[in-house]
Structure 1
């Protein structure tokens, strides 16, 4: 089935005014006491070679240090979701769902620049996801796309490799026929696919059917060619956008897909 992986408190106006009144109001100040005139004290020049005792150490000019500035995170991805992105990953496809129950989403490819954080390297591209939207607990046949962070490591399709660095399995078994949920033809949907590492064995063809979490948790969740309608659990891209993605993905950069509705990804 084409279907995982503060801000400081501000004083209120009243509190601020009270603080100012307490500072400015009080008992009348007494006149200042006269300051005694200091009596000169004879000094003796130090002997040759003698030096005044050093005072307490001070901070040299320019030695002030500041805390490192945190690297900007993936746009639209909050700290909880971002914590699941592997440390070695420097490519991420972020698929942002319009809502929890929507079959429409947007995909953007980012690459990590050590000097400036994550930068857009592809998209944004319009996408479809599952008919009923998204879920954090996917099961076979629920017509929802898994939410989470999943590796992208294997590709394939009915058509020849368009030039990806990922392992690519060209096989006629990727052929498909029939119609989708909107009555649209499904032919050509698997001309190119990228396997999402949800309930599958990495390093194998997307056609492999072993399900480590059990068959009831679904599987065969791919990024494949868009057929102008919702999917059972997969994410789709227009064919030229998918080819661009395939040519961009580099296994040495440990690519992942970060996917889910916008409200969940922002956590």
Structure 2
């Protein structure tokens, strides 16, 4: 008996071909294949009953990478301290002492952006020889605890590029040695005045003391000389230049000073 070769009509072949293309189309989409494959399979998809091509499927939405959440409040500061920071302040230099009676501290410049705070680098710092006090008096060798505006700068050297008013003068000079025998020369090459017992909007050299002479004054952030200060805050020369260049009067910068336990109140 003679075997006959299988025979497919033209109509059957077209149906099988269409089913194969449709199956490839669904496999490509279900497997989330490359965009080029999905586009190709879409073009080859079967037509609708009306003879119109099927609309292409919507492209998958892109994955949105979430940004890290910024703190809404400055870490380490309690409600009493936060209450003294002006509402329009967007730059805060937080100087935190190692202990109430320590002359070593750390400084961090925080910047407010989009309702949160971005932390800057951690800088080593020195403060008053005897630590910190809630009520500073002249000669007590403590740095004052509190929130103080940063509106005026100056120094023996030329302005490094700060946005604050800057008073350059040879009067910003100091000599002698510090508490640990370190030379003080160059400590006032760059300074930022703390608005403690002074008139804001004047040179750091201005001697006006609204609280009276007994409450001290002339308390600055200045170049570190390698040891404790009388009451000032000191940073390395490189960090002083960074600070001066970063401070922007439009951000109403302030300094928050004190030991960690005091600032947490």
TM-score range relative to shorter protein: 0.7 to 0.9
Q: What residue is the counterpart of 2:258 in the other structure? A: 260
> How far did residue 230 of structure 1 move?
0.2
Kindly report which structure 2 residues correspond to 1:2-151, keeping only aligned pairs within 5 A, or say none.
72-115=72-115, 117-120=116-119, 122-151=120-149
Match of residue 248 from structure 1: 246
CA distance, structure 1, for counterparts of residue 237 and residue 121 of structure 2: 13
2:223 to 222, 225, 229: 225
Q: How far apart are 1:71 and its partner, in Å?
A: 6.5
> Helix, strand or coil for the counterpart of 2:171?
helix
**TM-score normalised per structure 1:** 0.72
More helix by share: 2
TM superposition shift of 1:227? 0.2
Q: Where do 4+ consecutive residues of structure 1 move more than 2 Å? A: none
Distance in 1 of aligned mates of 2:170 and 2:132: 30
Q: Is 1:157 aligned to 2:180, yes or no?
A: no
Q: Tell me, what secondary structure is at the counterpart of 1:174?
A: coil
- The corresponding residue for 2:176 is 178
- Paired with 1:237 and 1:193, the residues of 2 have a C-alpha distance of 10
Kindly report the root-mean-square deviation, in angstroms, between the aligned alpha carbons of the 2 structures. Answer: 1.4
Scaled by the length of structure 2, the TM-score of the pair is: 0.73
Q: Distance in 2 between matches of 1:175 and 1:88?
A: 34
Q: Report deviation, 1:175.
A: 1.1
Gaps of 5+ in 1: 1-69
Aligned-pair CA distance for 1:76: 0.9
Q: Kindly indicate whether residue 179 of structure 2 is the aligned counterpart of residue 187 of structure 1.
A: no
Q: Please report how far the alpha carbon of residue 114 of structure 1 lies from its aligned counterpart in structure 2 after TM superposition.
A: 2.4
SS at match of 2:175: coil
For 2:241 and 2:71, the matched residues in 1 are separated by: 30
- Find the aligned partners of 1:77 and 1:109 in 2 and give their Cα distance: 14
Count of aligned residue pairs for this structure pair: 197
Relative CO higher for 1 or 2, CA cutoff 8 Å, sep ≥ 6? 1
Separation in 2, partners of 1:188, 1:123: 24
Larger radius of gyration: 2
Q: Give how far 1:213 is off.
A: 0.3
| Aligned-partner Cα distance in 2 for 1:73–1:96 | 16
